[in-house]
Amino acid sequence: MYNHPFVAETISAGIIEKGYAVVDNLLPESELQLIKERFEELQQEDEFLKAGIGKQIHFTIDNTVRGDFIRWIDTKDQSAPVYKLYEYVNELVQNLNRTCFLGIKDYETHYAYYPKGKGYKMHRDRFKTNPHRIVSFVFYLNENWHDGDGGELVLYNEEKQPIETLAPKENRLAVFLSETLHEVKECNSERRSITGWLLDIPTELTFLG
Ligand SMILES: O=C(O)CCC(=O)C(=O)O
Ligand SMILES: [Fe+2]
C-alpha cells in the first residue's frame, strides 16, 4: 500500500508523459476483500443491469459492442467499502487539476462484470455526445487472473496500433485519458472491476450531455 500523494503523483506523471498509468497492489488486502464482498452481495441481490451505449435518446443496448453488466455507485457514500479507492481518486483529482489544469469537478463510477465470452470493442469514453469524461480509471477485482483468461484492457494509439495490454489483475488500478482508443478483450472467465470517469462538470449535470 502506498500513500495517497505518491499514487497521485505517479499517475499524474504517467498521464502527462504517455496518457496513461498503472498502479499495482493499490489497497491493503483487508480493504480489497471488503470491496469484493460488496460486489458479490450486489450480484446476489441482482443489482446489475445490462450496460448500454450512448446516453438519453442515443442509448442503445448492443451486445455485439459491449457485453458487461453494471451497477452505478453513489460516490458521496462515505460508508461504502469503495471509499478506500475514492481516497486515492480524490487525491488524484487534486493533483491533476494542479499539474495538468484538467478542471476536474466530479467523478462517476460503477461496478462492472463481463460474463465469460464477453468484452467491449474498441471505443473512446470521451466523444461528441459525452464530452465530459476527461480521465477514465479501472480498478480490477479478479484474483488469480492467468494469461489464458483473456479480458485484457488494450490501449491503442490514433493509428489503432496497440500501445499497452493490461491483464485485469486484482488490486490493479489503470488510468488513461478518456479520449484514448481502448478495448476489453473477450474474457474466458467472469471479469470484475470498478470503472470510473473524472468529469469536467458536476455529476448532477451529466444528463445535459
Ligand atoms: O474494464 C476495462 O478494462 C475498461 C472498461 C471500459 O472501457 C468502459 O467501461 O468504458
Ligand atoms: Fe471504455
Q: What is the mean pLDDT of the chain?
A: 91
Locate cell 483487508: which residue? 30
DSSP annotation of 203 reads G
Centroid of ligand 1 to alpha carbon of 69 (angstroms): 11
Radius of gyration of the chain (CA): 16
| Weakest mean pLDDT among 21-30, 121-130, 175-184 | 121-130
The ipTM (two decimal places) reads 0.99
pLDDT bucket at 60, cuts 50 / 70 / 90? low
> Count of domains in the chain?
1
Indicate whether residue 184 lines ligand 1 (CB < 6 A).
yes
pLDDT bucket at 64, cuts 50 / 70 / 90? confident
Task: Judge contact between 37 and 191, C-beta under 8 A.
Answer: no
Indicate whether residue 125 lines ligand 1 (CB < 6 A).
yes
- Percent pLDDT > 90 in the chain is 75
Indicate whether residue 120 lines ligand 1 (CB < 6 A).
yes
pLDDT, tens digit (0-9, with 9 covering 90-100), for 185-208:
999 999 999 999 999 998 876 655
Q: Please choose from 139, 182, 190 the residue to mutate so as to test ligand 1's pocket, defined by most ligand atoms within 8 A of CB.
A: 182
Centroid of ligand 2 to alpha carbon of 129 (angstroms): 14
- Measured from the alpha carbon of residue 124, the closest ligand is 2
Domain that holds residue 83: 4-208
Sheet containing strand 133-140, strands side by side: 20-23, 173-177, 133-140, 191-199, 106-114, 69-73, 49-50
Q: Is 178 exposed, middle or buried (0-12, 13-18, 19+ CB in 10 A)?
A: buried
Closest CA to 169 of 138, 141, 147: 141
Closest CA to 61 of 73, 49, 69, 53: 53
Task: Judge contact between 150 and 187, C-beta under 8 A.
Answer: yes
N-to-C CA span, the chain? 37
Average pLDDT over residues 78-94: 93
Indicate whether residue 164 lines ligand 1 (CB < 6 A).
no
| Weakest mean pLDDT among 134-138, 143-147, 194-198 | 143-147
Closest CA to 20 of 116, 162, 200, 194: 162
- CATH number of the domain to which 195 belongs: 2.60.120.620
Task: Judge contact between 175 and 153, C-beta under 8 A.
Answer: no
pLDDT, tens digit (0-9, with 9 covering 90-100), for 161-183:
999 999 999 999 999 999 999 99
- The amino acid occupying position 18 is K
pLDDT bucket at 69, cuts 50 / 70 / 90? very high
